[in-house]
Amino acid sequence: MEYCRFYYCASLILSISGLVFPVMVGSIGINYGQIANNLPAPDNVVPLVKSIGATKVKLYDADPRVLKAFANTGVEFIVGLGNEYLSKMRDPEKAQDWVKTNVQAYLPATKITCITIGNEVLTFNDTGLTDSLFPAMQSIHTALVNLGLDKQVSVTTAHSLAILEVSYPPSAGSFRKDLVGCITPILNFLAKTNSPFLINAYPFFAYKSNPKQISLDFVLFQPNQGIVDSKSNFHYDNMLFAQIDAVHSALASLGYSKLPVHISETGWPSKGDADELGATLENAKKYNGNLLKIICQRKGTPMRPNTDLNIYVFALFNENMKPGPASERNYGLFKPDGTPAYSLGISGTDAVSANTTTTGAPAPPSPDSSSTGYLSISAAVKERCCSCIGQLLFPLLLLNYLAFRLAF
């Protein structure tokens, strides 16, 4: 009876959310991390994902409970192969066994579309991991080919923004010289297999490292003067788009300008330690609320104005067992009991400015603090190792909470 009651409420949530978020279908991705001991069962997570209009989920493993729970939901999945498995995956037989067990076994009911091999491997300064990354990618792809799955499942890896040596101005973006030898064969592989380049981008880290020189409005998508790239004359009114275009420039510098860039992680913590300036509930609400609005509007960056953003918000839940500063445990849109961590309603005071993708036209001069502070983006990110939504979202999330209460 309790099980049926939960799904009655879940169905109600999905029916309403389908009316509220029709233009967001196929747009929003969410990271589903599970470094916690108090998260709900995966079956109870399905309506939460649906309620925010997310149609794509990224895992850091291939949890069978999650993959089974999302069967026949139409939600697309990226599954992950952890860094600890890379050396083993150099063996083609082990790679094929892994694909059979963790991917093939769930297709086609669960829509697995991509496998990420490791996470931020090239910036761990671990020679063993670095040397194993590309061979592991090749082995997993070969296994997919042998099983006839390579046309529906791609293979890639997610990188930290710290792989960039230059990130400002965006048009001058370039990869670290010491990593070019490792990155180039990966880029060639991605181009040949029609796979995306994944980057984890966190404006929060740049602000946290230099709050006196970086404009908070610039990193939160709030109205601001922004910066002008003196070489391209593109105007940027938010840091995330500048970071993304710096990656586009770095790829172009190596001859891969057509390689699609997806943002595999971005988010803002709602709480942090005393020295983590900016990690507040209000800032998290502004960052993620404005970000979701931009995704909904299908805006591209100034350098790629006609390309839809492919962004995975970090993260679905607060994770109480993550190591590191308090911010690491407070990125979630939801608390473990299914209640929203904060409202994502968009009001007049936290609306996204309309000139995000202005190109070529003269822009107002940028304050000295914006351009100066932006220089620290690549360095700051190294500390991390591991009108369409509107005010209707919060009531929907409260409905989720009711469903949870009735389920238990």
**Would you name the residues annotated as active-site residues?**
120, 265
SS3 assignment, position 96: helix
3-state secondary structure of 237: coil
Asked if 138 contacts 95 with a C-beta cutoff of 8 angstroms, the reply is no
DSSP 137: H
What is the rounded end-to-end Cα distance, in angstroms, of the chain? 11
Compute the C-alpha angle 397/106/30, nearest 5°: 30
- Judge contact between 51 and 17, C-beta under 8 A: yes
Residue 53 φ/ψ, nearest 5 degrees = 80, 10
**Alpha helix (H) residue ranges in 299-367:** none
Residues in the chain: 408
Cα separations (Å) of 67 from 29, 83, 101, 104, 117? 16, 20, 12, 11, 18
- Contact call for residues 52 and 333 (beta carbons, < 8 A): yes
Residue with tokens 């610039």: 218
Is there a contact between 109 and 71 (Cβ–Cβ < 8 Å)?
yes
At CA 301, angle to CA 347 and CA 163, rounded to 5?
Answer: 110
Amino acid letter, 259: L
Helix (H, G, I), strand (E, B) or coil at 31: strand
Q: Which two tokens stand for residue 63?
A: 């949890």
Residue of 1, 76, 72 whose CA lies nearest to 32: 76
Nearest to 194 by CA among 251, 156, 239: 156
Measuring CA to CA, which residue among 199, 198, 217 is closest to residue 207? Answer: 217
* Both structure tokens of 69: 């729970």
Where b means 16+ CB within 10 Å and e means fewer, 150-179 reads beebbbbbbbbbbbbbbbbbbbbbbbbeeb
